[in-house]
Structure formats: structure tokens, C-alpha cells
Amino acid sequence: MGTDRQGGVAGNGAPLQQVAAPASLLGFRAEEHPGAPWLHFEDEVYTCAEALRRVRQAANGLLDLGVRPGERFALMMANCPEFLWLHFGAPLAGATPVPVNVAQRGAALSHILRDSGSVSVICDEDVADAVRAIAHEVPSLRHLVVAGPGPRAVESQARLPSSSLLRLLDQTDAVPPPLPKGVTPPPGIAYTSGTTGPPKGVVQSGQARHGANRVLEATGVQPGEVIYTALPLFHGNALGVSVRGSLTLDAELALGRRFSASRYFDECRRYGAVEFNTLGGMIPMLLKQPARPDDRDNPVRVVLSAGCPEWAWADFERRFDVRIVEWFGMVDSPGTLLNAEGRTGSMGKPVAGVEFQVVDEEDRPLPAGRVGELVFRRPEGRLSSYHNAPDLTEDAYRGGWFHSGDLAEYDQDGFFYYRGRKKASMRRRGENISAWEVESAVMTHPAVLECAAYAVPSEVGEDEVAVVVVLAPGAGVPPEALLDHCQGRLAYYAIPRYVELVSSIPKTGTQRVDYGSLRSRGVSPASWDREENGYVISRA
């Protein structure tokens, strides 16, 4: 066995994308250089060989628990090495993990567990009671495994035996027995956030990793270098890009427990990370942190971004001495846009033979410079579906194109630009307004740390625009000053009516705004109403 790192090519010369299973990728790396470090988590370092040993222990623990080949189990844990041991170990046991957002509760959690047919939930201790509360609604559920000092006994839930994750992982590291003939792990399911209805389970029905490989190649990460992520492992970006990407590129992975804007670059310095990924509002949050003399003194070369605002792009690159590579991809259907050319504000151009268009409400293609829904199709046809929801699948793929639900436009050079979520748009006085355009204007105010715009009902029909704003530490800005800042940066009809200063904004685990929660919240007594206060908007 050699110890030289091989990069993106397997020892037999085959491209690594042909080695599909995560455990196989890890197994290959462990065979090539068992003593090389792979995973860093806080003060712990796991070599490729040690990681593979833990994965096999997890696989044997699942079998000992009674998870049978061909079954699914839910994995509801915050970032930790044990999540990866279980996720990679599941296929060795013939099972499939279902990552679940640790914030899910009640009806949404019950739906996910029922819809996936999960036979067990492996979760953090602070989630266990939420699982017990809905266990009677999930007929398939047989076990609850709790990470922590040990689950406390709950006699009223005797039908759901509980055990400790420590016990599950305390197993032999022998190679698990081969799967019974004809038995394979069931397809994986990734659940969307469900902001407009029950969470949808996405099933990938085919391999389409060429786009992802192009994105990874664009980072320039070399074998033995370090990738950092603090995005949650229950989300596709952390698992599909950072974790799998580290193995594909023969790089090391530094895993943060959770995202912290104030500590983020210190974490990168700690591990010597040359690359990290961002989603949603992460770049604005990092950029709005107080400037430090060592901002440029960090090891990061490239930031793989999904959703960097145009106004923040150049300032972020200059302040932290990094290069942004922007891209677009979805859990719902494989299709990739990539901007490695540095075209500020653009998601990029299509890669891997995928066609992209922008269409109007009647699915008619729009020309350059017009905003509409972003749709795309692959030469292989459909490669995904919504689990147990054929009608939703047919609607999403109507006309042969997958409808993303994102608003976009493209320029004369074929570069695409994000213009917000279609479902987060508002209609006021006959004009369509995207949350993205309002937020982009408000965020350019130097005192604003975060903001989110959303629709509230108007007394004259349609919508009014509301915005919640988190100010930077120590900043004090009256609502009318924020609206003054918007004048000339927004169409007059898009300037918010309601402004509320808040301490935090509801978010998903991937740092995206939870617009459903904001719409349900509506206008609070603390909201400042420009009409009641006589604020005048200029139409110049």
C-alpha cells in the first residue's frame, strides 16, 4: 500500500466518481494511505483507517440494533463524527440513512418519519422527547437511539425501546457480513424544508455527479489540503460537497459544530483550511463582522458560494483576500450552474450538458434581461422524484423541464443571475416584488447585520411589504433612516411599509431565512408603519 495521495483518480486509474458509495470512497482512501488524516473535529483527528474502522463499527451496531437490510432509519444529529460513521456505515449494513433537520418537530417530523418508513431514529438527547411525542403516529418506528449520557426511561413510551448511541457504536470493527442475495439499500431520501406544506422527500433516481465534480475542480483544492464546513450534515451541501468532496479530492475535512460568524475565520486558521462553502446570508454576515487587522491573514484561497449578493462580492474578496467561485445546484434535481470566471453577482453558466432557461408564468422562454422562473433539463431526462408524491413530481417536471421555483435572468453572454425565490415574492398595487430585491437594498446600509423581507396582507388587497432588521452590534438607526437609504435603490412601490428591529431572524439549519415563519408572524406591535408615521416616498 502506498502513502502518496492520488487526488481525483483511483489507484486502478478509474475516476473516483465511478466509486459511488461514500463508504467505498473512504475505503479506497484508507487502502491508499491509512495513516493520513481525514477528519478534524475540535481537538480530535481521525485518520482514513481510523474513520473506516468507526464506520464498520457503526454498520455492525445497526445490524445488532435490528435495522435490517433494505430498511431506512432517521439520523437527527447536530454536526459530530458519529453522524458520519452512521451515514457511511449504513450501506455496509444494507440500510439507508435519512438525514433530518434537528429543528423539526410535531407534524412535520411525524410526516418525515412516516413517509420514509424509518424503523429507527438516532438523535441527539435534546431531540429525543420530540421523537417520543409523535412515535405513536409512526407505525414503522421500532427503536430510538439517543446520543448523550444515556436516555432516561419514559414508561408511557414503552412501545419505543430506547438505547444509547455509545452502546450502538461499541461493536466489532470487522467487515460486516455480505448482504443477502438480491437485497440492496433502498434509495436515499432528502427532505426539503416544507415552508409551504409538508416536507417533500427527494429521491435521486440516477447518478449525475459530473456537475458536482466540475464544481469541486473549480475550487483548486489539492490532495492533502483542508476543506472546512460548519454547515449542518443533515443538509446536502455539507454531505454532498464538503464531505464527499474531501474524499473525491483526497483532501482533509475540518468539521465545525455549528456556524459562528465571529469565529469562522479563526476556525479556518485553526485547521489551515484553504476552502469553505457558504449558503444564503453567510457572506453578508461574515462581511458585517467588525474589521480585524488579521482579516487577510488567513489560509483560505477560495470560497465556494451559493448566493453571494452582488453588493458584497468584491468587498468580501478584498477584505479576506479570497476568490469567490459561485454556483447553483438543487437537492430537488441535479443541474449545475458554475461561475469560476469571477463574473460578479452571477451564478454562472450551465455545465455537464444541462440546459437552462428562464420562463414566464406560461412556461414561455424569456429573452436576456427579463426575470422569470429558472428551469432546466438534463440530457438523461429525469433523475429525481418526490417520494410518494407523483403529482408533485409531474408538476415540477412539466413540459420536460424541472421548475426550480427560483427567479432568475440571464445576460447576453449566457451568465445567469439569481433574483429570489418565486414563493417569497410579493404583489403590491399590481407590481411584483421579490424579497431578494428589498433585502439587497436594505443590506447595503452599513448598520444592518441581517434583514428579511416578506409579504403581509394589505387592507386594500394584495400585499404590503414588511422587513425585519438585525442591526450590527452598537448600531442605532431609526426605521425612517433605513427607508431613506432605500429611496433611489428600490422602486418606489417596493419600499417597505413596515420596519421592525429584531434581535434575530428565523432561519433554517442552512442559514436561509424561514419565510414561512415570518409570514405566519405577520406585523407585530413592535413594527414601525411608515403610513401611520407620515413617511413620504419619492417617485423620482
**What is the CB neighbour count within 10 angstroms for residue 418?**
23
The full DSSP string for 63-125 is HHHTPPTT-EEEEE--S-HHHHHHHHHGGGGT-EEEE--TT--HHHHHHHHHHHT-SEEEEEG
Tens of each residue's pLDDT in the chain, 540 residues: 334 455 444 333 334 444 345 678 899 999 999 999 999 999 999 999 999 999 999 999 999 999 999 999 999 999 999 999 999 999 999 999 999 989 888 888 999 999 999 999 999 999 999 999 999 999 999 999 999 865 454 433 446 899 999 999 999 999 999 999 988 899 999 998 655 567 899 998 766 556 888 999 999 999 999 999 999 999 889 999 999 999 999 999 999 999 999 999 999 999 999 999 998 789 988 998 999 999 999 999 999 999 898 999 999 999 999 999 999 999 899 999 999 999 999 999 999 899 999 999 999 999 999 999 999 999 989 999 999 999 999 999 999 999 999 999 999 999 999 988 888 888 887 788 888 889 999 999 999 999 999 999 888 778 899 999 999 998 999 999 999 999 988 988 899 999 999 999 998 766 788 888 898 889 999 999 999 999 998 876
User: Tell me, what CATH number does 284's domain have?
Assistant: 3.40.50.12780
φ, ψ dihedrals at 14, nearest 5°? -80, 140
Residues 188 and 302 occupy one common structural domain: no
CA distance linking residue 308 with residue 306, whole number of Å: 6
Residues 136 and 268 occupy one common structural domain: no
Residues 377 and 399 occupy one common structural domain: yes
Question: Of the residues 421, 454, 475, which one is the last residue of a structural domain?
Answer: 421
Residues 308 and 390 occupy one common structural domain: yes
Q: Which of 405, 436, 382 shows the shortest CA–CA distance to 330?
A: 405
485: its cell numbers: 437609504
- Residue 224 domain-assigned? no
- Residue 5 domain-assigned? no
Show the 3-state SS of 286-302: HHCCCCCCCCCCCCCCE
Q: Do 272 and 183 form a contact (C-beta atoms < 8 A)?
A: no
Q: Do 134 and 150 form a contact (C-beta atoms < 8 A)?
A: no
Residues 6+ apart with CB under 8 A from 91: 21, 22, 23, 185
- Residue 43 domain-assigned? yes
- Residue 457 domain-assigned? yes
Residue range(s) defining the domain that contains residue 409: 210-219+255-421
User: Tell me, what CATH number does 127's domain have?
Assistant: 3.40.50.980
CA distance linking residue 426 with residue 495, whole number of Å: 12
CA distance linking residue 58 with residue 92, whole number of Å: 9
- Residue 1 domain-assigned? no
Beta strands 252-255 and 226-229 are parallel
Amino acid (1-letter code) at residue 279 = L
Residues 30 and 94 occupy one common structural domain: yes
Q: What's the pLDDT at 144? A: 97
φ, ψ dihedrals at 8, nearest 5°? -95, 15
Burial class (CB within 10 angstroms; exposed 0-12, middle 13-18, buried 19+) of 180: exposed
For the chain, state the CA radius of gyration.
24
Amino acid (1-letter code) at residue 325 = V
- Residue 284 domain-assigned? yes
Residues 265 and 331 occupy one common structural domain: yes
- Residue 243 domain-assigned? no
Residues 480 and 377 occupy one common structural domain: no
Residues 196 and 215 occupy one common structural domain: no
Question: Of the residues 421, 453, 483, which one is the last residue of a structural domain?
Answer: 421
CA distance linking residue 215 with residue 242, whole number of Å: 11
Q: Do 129 and 105 form a contact (C-beta atoms < 8 A)?
A: no
Q: How far is CA 292 from CA 273, 286, 297, 484, in A?
A: 19, 12, 10, 30
Residues 295 and 406 occupy one common structural domain: yes
- Residue 414 domain-assigned? yes
CA distance linking residue 431 with residue 427, whole number of Å: 5
Burial class (CB within 10 angstroms; exposed 0-12, middle 13-18, buried 19+) of 520: exposed
Please name the residue that has the C-alpha cell 454531505.
239
Please give the model's pTM, rounded to 2 decimal places.
0.85
User: Tell me, what CATH number does 455's domain have?
Assistant: 3.30.300.30
Q: Which of 505, 520, 351, 531 shows the shortest CA–CA distance to 443?
A: 505
Q: Do 183 and 191 form a contact (C-beta atoms < 8 A)?
A: no
Q: What's the pLDDT at 3? A: 41
Q: Which of 51, 116, 127 shows the shortest CA–CA distance to 89?
A: 51
CA distance linking residue 510 with residue 534, whole number of Å: 38
CA distance linking residue 490 with residue 135, whole number of Å: 49
Residues 198 and 264 occupy one common structural domain: no
Residues 63 and 160 occupy one common structural domain: yes
Q: Which of 284, 302, 385, 287 shows the shortest CA–CA distance to 338?
A: 302
φ, ψ dihedrals at 129, nearest 5°? -65, -35
Q: What's the pLDDT at 350? A: 97
Return the H-helix or E-strand segment holding 54. Answer: helix 48-65
Question: Of the residues 403, 421, 439, which one is the last residue of a structural domain?
Answer: 421
For the chain, what is the domain count?
3
Residues 173 and 312 occupy one common structural domain: no
